[in-house]
Chain A
Amino acid sequence: MNALDVVAPQLALLVTAGILLVLEAMLPGKRRWLPYVALMGLAVSAAWTTSWVIRDDYQTIFDGTFSLDQYSVFFYYVFAGITALVVLSSIDWVNTAGRGKSEYYALLLVSTAGLMFLAGARDLITIFVALELSSIPQYILAGWAKDRRSSEAGLKYLILGAISSAILLYGMTLLFGFTGETVLPEIGAALAADDGANRALIVVAMTMIIAGFGFKLAIVPFQMWVPDVYQGAPTPITAYLSVGSKAAAFAVVIRVFFEAFGADFVSNDWANIFAVLAAITMTLGNVLALVQTNIKRMLGYSSVAQAGTILIGLAAVSASGQEFTLAANAVLFFLAAYAFTNLGAFAAIIAITHRIGSDEIADFAGMWRRAPILAAVLAFCLVSLTGIPPTAGFWAKLYVFYAGVQADLVWLVVIGVLNTTISAFYYLGVVRHMFLGEAEEMSPVRVSPGIGVSVAVTAAGVLIIGVFPGPVLDAANEAVQVFAGG
Chain B
Amino acid sequence: MDIALAVLGGFAAAAVAPLVVARAGHYGGYLLALVPLAVFAFYLSLAFGADDVAAVSWTWIDALGVDFSFRIDGLSRLFGLLISGIGAIIVVYAAGYLKGDPKLGRFYLFLLSFMGAMLGLTAADNLVTLFVFWELTSVTSYMLIGYKHEYQASRDAALQALLVTAGGGLAMLAGLVLLGIAADTQSIAEINAAGDVVRDHHLYVPILVLLLIGAATKSAQFPFHFWLPGAMEAPTPVSAYLHSATMVKAGVFLLARVNPSLGGTTEWTAALSIAGGATMLLGAYLALNQYDLKRILAYTTLSALGTLVMLLGVGTELALKGMVTFLLAHALYKGALFMMAGAVDHEAGTRDVRHLGKLARAMPITAAVAVIGALSLGGFPPLFSFIGKEVLLEATLENEWGAFWLLLAVVAVSSPLLVVAAGVIAIRPFFQAGGEPPKHPHEAPPSMWAGPGILALGSVVLGLAPVLGQGWLIEPAAQAVAGEEFEVRLALWHGFNLPLAVSAMTIAAGIVAYLFREQLRALTWPVESRVAGTVGPTRGYEGFLVGIKRGSAWQTRKLQHGRLRRYVATTALATVGLVALAAFTNGGVPLAFDVGGVHFYEWFLGALVLGGGVLTAVARNRFFAVTAVGVVGVGVALIFLVFSAPDLAMTQLLVDVLTVILFVLVFYHLPGPMLQARRGVLVRDAALSLAVGATMTLLVLGVVHADRPTDVSEFYAAAAYAEAFGRNVVNVILVDFRILDTLGEVVVLGAAALGAYALLKYRARDPEGDEQ
Contacts and interface: CB of A to CB of B under 8 A. Distances in A.
B759 A143 contact: yes
Nearest to B551: A287
Contacts of B559: 224, 284, 288
Interface residues of B, number: 97
B624 to A, nearest CB: 22
Contact of A421 (B128, B149, B170): B170
B167 A126 contact: no
B762 interface: yes
B173 A284 contact: no
A417 B769 contact: no
A90 B278 CA distance: 58
A159 B582 contact: no
Given A288-B552, A436-B158, A180 B759 contact: no
Contact of B552 (A204, A290, A469): A290
B583 interface: yes
B181 A406 contact: yes
Nearest to A397: B173
B149 to A, nearest CB: 4
Interface in B413-427: none
A133 B751 contact: yes
A470 B60 contact: yes
Interface in B694-738: 696, 699, 702-703, 706-707, 709-712, 737-738
Contacts of B586: 199-200, 203-204, 269
B748 A199 contact: no
Interface string B462-485: 000000000000000000000000
Contacts of B703: 174, 177-178, 201
Contacts of B549: 290-291
B433 interface: no
B197 interface: no
Interface stretch (B287-295, B567-575, B638-646, B651-659): B567-575
Contacts of A63: 737
B582 A207 contact: yes
A129 to B, nearest CB: 4
Interface stretch (B38-46, B130-138, B309-317, B510-518): B130-138
A224 B566 CA distance: 10
A221 B571 contact: yes
A353 interface: no
Given A137-B751, A288-B552, A417 B64 contact: no
Interface string B750-765: 1110111111011001
B766 interface: yes
B170 A417 contact: yes
A62 B739 contact: yes
Contacts of A269: 582, 585-586
B562 interface: yes
B61 A203 contact: no
Contact residues of B: prevailing secondary structure: helix
A113 interface: yes
A178 B562 CA distance: 38
A210 B582 CA distance: 12
Interface string B142-159: 100010011000010011
Given A65-B740, A398-B64, A180 B758 contact: no
B166 interface: yes
Interface stretch (A46-54, A249-257, A386-394): A386-394
A428 B159 contact: yes
B589 interface: yes
B398 interface: no
B171 A417 contact: yes
Contact of B575 (A211, A389, A420): A211
* Most-contacted residue by chain A among B142, B158, B588, B741 (CB, 10 A): B741
Contact of A100 (B585, B741, B762): B762
B713 to A, nearest CB: 11
A195 to B, nearest CB: 11
Contact of B181 (A103, A167, A405): A405
A140 B756 contact: yes
B710 A180 contact: yes
Interface residues of A, number: 113
B553 A405 contact: no
Nearest to B737: A63
A401 B747 contact: no
A68 to B, nearest CB: 12
Interface in B532-584: 545, 548-549, 551-553, 555-556, 559-560, 562, 564, 567-568, 570-572, 574-575, 578-579, 581-583
A130 B748 CA distance: 9
A132 B754 CA distance: 15
B709 A224 contact: no
Contacts of A279: none
A130 B555 CA distance: 35
A178 B170 CA distance: 46
B408 interface: no
Given A107-B751, A421-B167, A291 B553 contact: yes
A284 B586 CA distance: 28
A398 B177 contact: yes
B173 A398 contact: yes
Nearest to B169: A388
A56 B766 CA distance: 51
Contacts of B568: 159-160, 163
B523 interface: no
B131 A66 contact: no
Interface in A212-257: 215, 221-222, 224-225, 227-228
A436 B548 CA distance: 23
A469 B744 CA distance: 36
Contacts of B741: 65, 125-126, 129
Interface in A126-155: 126, 129-130, 132-133, 136-137, 139-141, 143-144, 146-148, 151-152, 155
Given A180-B712, A383-B139, A132 B744 contact: yes
B627 to A, nearest CB: 22
B100 interface: no
Nearest to B754: A103
Contacts of B754: 21, 103, 106-107
Nearest to B765: A99
A165 to B, nearest CB: 11
Nearest to A477: B63
B636 to A, nearest CB: 15
B738 A125 contact: yes
B758 A388 contact: no
Interface in A381-412: 383, 387-390, 394-395, 398-399, 401-402, 405-406, 410
Contacts of B750: 110
B62 interface: yes
Nearest to B708: A180
Given A129-B745, A414-B174, A425-B163, A156 B574 contact: no
Contacts of B400: none
Interface in A7-24: 7, 14, 21
A61 B741 CA distance: 12
Given A207-B579, A326-B63, A383-B139, 7 more contacts: A3-B739, A136-B751, A174-B699, A207-B581, A421-B167, A428-B162, A432-B146
21 contacts: A62-B739, A62-B740, A100-B762, A110-B750, A117-B740, A129-B748, A132-B745, A133-B751, A140-B752, A141-B755, A147-B769, A160-B568, A179-B709, A180-B709, A199-B587, A200-B583, A201-B699, A204-B582, A288-B560, A401-B177, A432-B146
Q: Closest 4 A-B residue pairs measured CB to CB?
A: A180-B709, A140-B755, A129-B744, A200-B586
Interface of B: 60-64, 128, 131-132, 135-136, 138-139, 142, 146, 149-150, 155, 158-159, 162-163, 166-167, 170-171, 173-174, 177-178, 181, 203, 206, 545, 548-549, 551-553, 555-556, 559-560, 562, 564, 567-568, 570-572, 574-575, 578-579, 581-583, 585-590, 696, 699, 702-703, 706-707, 709-712, 737-741, 744-745, 747-748, 750-752, 754-759, 761-762, 765-766, 769-770, 772
